Amino acid sequence: MLISYSWLKDYVDLSVDAKKLADDLTMSGSKVETVKSYGQEIKNVVIGKIVSLEKHPDALKLQIGIVDVGKEKLQIVTGAQNIKVGDYIPVALHGSTLPGGVKIKRGKLRGVESNGMMCSAKELGLDESLLPEYQRNGIFILPELPLGDDVRDVLELDDVIEFEITPNRPDCLSVVGIAREAAATYRKSYRMPEIKISEVDDKNPATVTIEADDLCFRYVARVIRNAKIGPSPMWMQMRLLKAGIRPINNIVDVTNYVMMELGQPLHAFDLDKVKNRHIVVRRAKEGERLITLDDKERILDKDMLVIADEEKAIGLAGVMGGQNTEITDDTVNILIESANFKGSNIRYTSRKLGLRSEASSRFEKGLDPEITVLACNRAAQLMAELSGGEILEGLVDVYPKPVTEKVLSVRYERINKLLGTNLSCQEMKEILSFLDFGTICDDKNLIVKVPAFRGDVDGEADIAEEIGRMYGYNNIEDTLLKGTQITAGVKTREQKLEDTVKDVFLSCGLNEVITTSFMGMKDLDKINLPDDSYLRNAVKIMNPLGEDQGYMRTTLLPFMLNVVCTNYSRKVSEFKAFEISKVFVPKSLPLEELPDEIKSGIIAMYGHDVDFLTIKGVIEELLDVLNIKNVKYVRSQNPAYHPGRSADVIVGDEKICVFGELNPDVAENYDINKRVYISEVNLELLFKHANDEKVYKPLPRYPAVERDIAVLVDKSTFVADIENVIRKAGGQLVDDVKLFDVYEGENIPEDKKSVAFSIWYRSYDKTLTDEEVSKVHDKIVNRLSEELGAQLR
């Protein structure tokens, strides 16, 4: 909301400059976004009147004007075409400055002397888009004003403060509301506009019926007769312009002016177009149509509230008026509406129709019904003054259920305890009274009468906030949880394990990436996911940003592959990354209870030294650090992976991980022309099997004996199976087994391979003798032969 400082000063006496006021109001709760100084850079620009105009002899597009600026008449050359003799205009004199530091000097234009410049609104720093066409295309044509007066004064070019008002304080969406806050901030008083109504003797002919009193709480109206429609005076137009509101005519401008002044949105109807001068506030009929003031036809539903006459809707309550009763140049009799509507309903209508207005954004926050009469009278007064119309006798006021005054009893001890302050009841009283709260102190309690415009104040905490913000949050002494119990800050087992997993991944050279959570079904097609996979049962978003972001992800794979793709296409030659995040698996669809959110990990890598064993190494390291034993690797059936180069990691009978080379088809789907290695880890299962207990095992006191063994086995035999036989046959004496060679080729039959291990034999009780070792070693050789048909080489 934009408010000019000069307007604000009508209601409160302030001595600080706008910048200081902005800072102080921000600290007391009315946040200021910016302060814009309109007139600051303008010097020596005055009001002038064009007394003659003729064509420039040597330039088709230029005109030579004689301009009366009071003290003298100046010859000024201009390129503008929208001016005529008799127009009042802003004139930048010789030696003047304009916004942006522009300096105007006497000079010659195509040989003709020009003693200054006629100014456009834009050149004065104003927003031209809010002006009517005749003021916009060229020179800023003004109404009649005293010649020679400084434009800064007559146009009230001062500081404009932009406020960001929180939704709980619609009362602050007005100049008076801000004046009240400013007054309280400086412990001063403010004043309301002076309202004088002089009614003529004729009775007001309009009547009002509220049919939907659950949506319209009060409807106040007045009638102005014999108004003459025309532009409103410059001072009013300028105040509206500075508030970002387009001036229209003396009637509409008054409704907007009073809305800005008091916070109550108003509407003006052409009374002669209201059938039988009878206003009916009712729900719209399903499918009822209304053309609103913006020339758009709106199709309404039965939950929307309309202002109607006896045969048709004439306005969308609280949102926008109807074209059929619009104020036009021919309007003579006017009905002023000052009503109070249910905020949530206005919000509904405005949302549903995609139509927000200054009025709707105020009404939807819930306004004070008590201000309606004041606002109506104020508008009547101004309209009569500006349009020469008469105020007919009698104010219509339909108010089915008047609100009752809210009285709260709060404990000042408690307020001090909440704020950490030590304020006396008297100090609290003072603060509250400046905010228009009525207060009575007793020895423990403060009885508070809440003003009607403070619908947001309901209890002790709200009163504490009022006192706290006016006392100044920054005056409250900082404490560090004194008087509270000491707690230990701890991480859960899962959180610690997650840290561990991250550490392992990082130390394996994987970089952490973070991707978003929305997927499309196409993402699942790209990773070869079968049609019947449970991962296709994804949680669907009702209002997604797009089809390709319509679901909550059930897998991290497509996201990681997008990252791979991004890096690959940008020629990042070595890629190692991981992500730890949640996937969302519904228990049933459509969702009736919250889905499972499963923490998962994913790894991807490519690069010159990366192969299947590199990624397996990471998994082995992870299992080792988490102390997970008895792991089985079996060929994976996962269609995203290369069938011959991928494995599932089985612990117990649970699959905790899959890893291997990305299926070439999938790589092709992502335009990756490189072997990519990936792994997906179910962290919840991993944590379940992680063994936190480590028990110290004494270091060996006796030496180990190393024996190597090389055997010929079928090509398809898994190395892990051979190792298992070795360990099983060797029993406790086998301290360690390490593969050191796998060989196929020359001197080896075609269907065979040679596999060589080092075996360390050790006893923890004694030094083993050669015979003891040989006995076990022979047993191993025999078992290998029996179980795997292995031949010793």
Which residues in the 363-402 window bind other proteins by CB under 8 A? Answer: 364-366
Residues of this chain, 12-31, that bind other proteins according to CB under 8 A:
26-29, 31
Residues of this chain, 85-124, that bind other proteins according to CB under 8 A:
none
Task: Please state the three-class secondary structure of 489-501 as a single string.
Answer: CCCCHHHHHHHHH
Nearest approach, Cβ of 31 to other proteins (angstroms)?
7
Q: Binding segment for other proteins among 278-286, 501-509, 706-714, 750-758 (CB under 8 A)? A: 501-509
Q: How many binding residues for other proteins (CB under 8 A)?
A: 89
Contact between 409 and other proteins per CB under 8 A = no
For 117, half-sphere exposure in the C-beta direction (CA atoms, 13 angstrom radius) is: 21
Nearest approach, Cβ of 691 to other proteins (angstroms)?
23
- Supply φ then ψ for residue 573, to 5 degrees: -85, -30
Q: How far apart are CA 746 and CA 279, in angstroms?
A: 104
Interface characters, 56-75, with other proteins (x: CB under 8 A): --------------------
- Supply φ then ψ for residue 19, to 5 degrees: -65, -45
CB contact at 8 A, 387 and 401:
no
Q: Determine the Cα angle at 30 with ends 25 and 432, to 5°.
A: 80
Residues 6+ apart with CB under 8 A from 280: 208, 209, 211, 307, 308, 309, 310
Looking at 267-310, which runs of residues are DSSP E strands? Answer: 267-270, 278-283, 289-291, 297-299, 305-308
Nearest approach, Cβ of 427 to other proteins (angstroms)?
16
* Interface pick for other proteins out of 491, 493, 728, 793 (rule CB under 8 A): 491
Specify whether the backbone of 616 is left (phi greater than 0), alpha (psi in -120 to 50) or beta. alpha
End-to-end Cα, the chain, rounded Å = 90
* Interface pick for other proteins out of 15, 484, 588, 630 (rule CB under 8 A): 484
Q: Which two tokens stand for residue 137?
A: 């295309």
Of 185 and 250, which CB lies nearer to other proteins in the complex structure?
Answer: 185
Q: How far apart are CA 261 and CA 454, in angstroms?
A: 17
Contact between 506 and other proteins per CB under 8 A = yes
What type of residue is 57? P
Contact between 483 and other proteins per CB under 8 A = yes
Q: How far apart are CA 627 and CA 608, in angstroms?
A: 30
Closest C-alpha to 392, from 413, 377, 374, 370: 377
Of 437 and 584, which CB lies nearer to other proteins in the complex structure?
Answer: 584
Contact between 459 and other proteins per CB under 8 A = yes
Residues of this chain, 139-178, that bind other proteins according to CB under 8 A:
166-169
Residues 6+ apart with CB under 8 A from 318: 265, 305, 339, 341, 345, 346, 349, 359, 360, 363, 364
Structural element, H or E, at residue 386: helix 372-387
Nearest approach, Cβ of 35 to other proteins (angstroms)?
11
Alpha-carbon 402 to chain mean position: 37
Nearest approach, Cβ of 264 to other proteins (angstroms)?
18
Q: How far apart are CA 744 and CA 793, in angstroms?
A: 13
Q: Binding segment for other proteins among 229-237, 378-386, 590-598, 702-710 (CB under 8 A)? A: 590-598
Nearest approach, Cβ of 394 to other proteins (angstroms)?
35
* Interface pick for other proteins out of 473, 534, 740, 764 (rule CB under 8 A): 473
Other Cβ atoms less than 10 A from the Cβ of 694: the count is 7
Of 108 and 482, which CB lies nearer to other proteins in the complex structure?
Answer: 482
* Interface pick for other proteins out of 513, 666, 726, 733 (rule CB under 8 A): 513
Q: Binding segment for other proteins among 133-141, 373-381, 510-518, 682-690 (CB under 8 A)? A: 510-518
* Interface pick for other proteins out of 20, 61, 228, 351 (rule CB under 8 A): 351
Of 407 and 506, which CB lies nearer to other proteins in the complex structure?
Answer: 506
Of 347 and 378, which CB lies nearer to other proteins in the complex structure?
Answer: 347
* Interface pick for other proteins out of 62, 195, 418, 535 (rule CB under 8 A): 418
Of 479 and 630, which CB lies nearer to other proteins in the complex structure?
Answer: 479
* Interface pick for other proteins out of 36, 136, 502, 632 (rule CB under 8 A): 502
* Interface pick for other proteins out of 150, 597, 723, 772 (rule CB under 8 A): 597
* Interface pick for other proteins out of 60, 481, 695, 699 (rule CB under 8 A): 481
* Interface pick for other proteins out of 245, 508, 561, 622 (rule CB under 8 A): 508
Contact between 478 and other proteins per CB under 8 A = yes
CB contact at 8 A, 142 and 234:
yes
Residues 6+ apart with CB under 8 A from 23: 32
DSSP string, 667-733: HHHTT--S--EEEEEEHHHHHHH--------PPP-S--EEEEEEEEEETT--HHHHHHHHHHHHGGG
Q: Binding segment for other proteins among 115-123, 126-134, 371-379, 584-592 (CB under 8 A)? A: 584-592
Beta-bridged to residue 635, according to DSSP, are 647
Nearest approach, Cβ of 317 to other proteins (angstroms)?
17
Of 179 and 734, which CB lies nearer to other proteins in the complex structure?
Answer: 179
CB contact at 8 A, 256 and 250:
no
Contact between 594 and other proteins per CB under 8 A = yes
* Interface pick for other proteins out of 84, 196, 570, 629 (rule CB under 8 A): 570
* Interface pick for other proteins out of 75, 517, 537, 785 (rule CB under 8 A): 517
Q: Binding segment for other proteins among 57-65, 276-284, 414-422, 739-747 (CB under 8 A)? A: 414-422
CB contact at 8 A, 255 and 268:
yes
In the block, residue with structure tokens 């008083």: 189
Of 120 and 349, which CB lies nearer to other proteins in the complex structure?
Answer: 349
Residues of this chain, 523-562, that bind other proteins according to CB under 8 A:
539-545, 549, 552
* Interface pick for other proteins out of 287, 590, 644, 698 (rule CB under 8 A): 590
Of 569 and 637, which CB lies nearer to other proteins in the complex structure?
Answer: 569
CB contact at 8 A, 604 and 675:
no
Closest C-alpha to 216, from 303, 288, 318, 312: 318
Q: How many residues does the chain have?
A: 793
* Interface pick for other proteins out of 149, 462, 620, 684 (rule CB under 8 A): 462
* Interface pick for other proteins out of 73, 195, 433, 518 (rule CB under 8 A): 518
In the block, residue with structure tokens 């137009």: 237
Nearest approach, Cβ of 779 to other proteins (angstroms)?
40
Contact between 617 and other proteins per CB under 8 A = no
* Interface pick for other proteins out of 44, 433, 500, 515 (rule CB under 8 A): 515
Of 31 and 632, which CB lies nearer to other proteins in the complex structure?
Answer: 31
DSSP string, 231-279: PPPHHHHHHHHHTT-----HHHHHHHHHHHHHS---EEEEGGGSGGGEE
Interface characters, 196-235, with other proteins (x: CB under 8 A): ----------------------------------------
Q: Binding segment for other proteins among 424-432, 591-599, 627-635, 708-716 (CB under 8 A)? A: 591-599
Beta-bridged to residue 313, according to DSSP, are 308
Q: How far apart are CA 657 and CA 636, in angstroms?
A: 10
For 317, half-sphere exposure in the C-beta direction (CA atoms, 13 angstrom radius) is: 34
For 726-760, give one letter per residue: b (16+ CB within 10 A) or e. beebbeebbbebeeeeeeeeeeeeeebbbbebebb
* Interface pick for other proteins out of 213, 393, 460, 620 (rule CB under 8 A): 460
Nearest approach, Cβ of 536 to other proteins (angstroms)?
17
Contact between 492 and other proteins per CB under 8 A = yes
Nearest approach, Cβ of 462 to other proteins (angstroms)?
6
Of 539 and 690, which CB lies nearer to other proteins in the complex structure?
Answer: 539
